[in-house]
A = this chain, B = another copy of it.
Amino acid sequence: MIRIVAKNLVKADKMDAFLDMAKVLVRETRDKDAGCIRYELVQGIDNPRLLTFLEEWEDQEALDKHMAAPHFTDIVPRFADCLEEPAEVTLYKELL
């Protein structure tokens, strides 16, 4: 199992644009990507412009296929224009 925490600090005037794209990405990923156990977008309580994907994948193969899927390759590069700084993506394995 692979866990991902992908943090996005969104520009104030790009929140709607980011969320419109994120909605499609979340829906398509949940509906279409085999091996996706969990794929959620959460919002910072202290900083509402911090929008973070919390993900769980069965294995690296499932994650690789997700990152090659059209909904990923179409949408994720377009997030960049909405962000204050590059996304911070951290991959984890289970421990306890």
Contact = CB atoms under 8 A, between A and B. Distances in A.
A40 B95 CA distance: 8
A82 interface: no
Interface residues of A, number: 25
A22 interface: yes
Given A5-B52, A54-B3, A92 B44 contact: yes
A92 B3 contact: no
Contact of A2 (B5, B22, B45): B45
Closest A-B pairs by Cβ, 10 of them: A42-B92, A41-B96, A45-B91, A43-B95, A26-B96, A41-B95, A3-B42, A43-B93, A5-B5, A42-B95
B42 A94 contact: yes
Interface string A49-68: 01110100000000000000
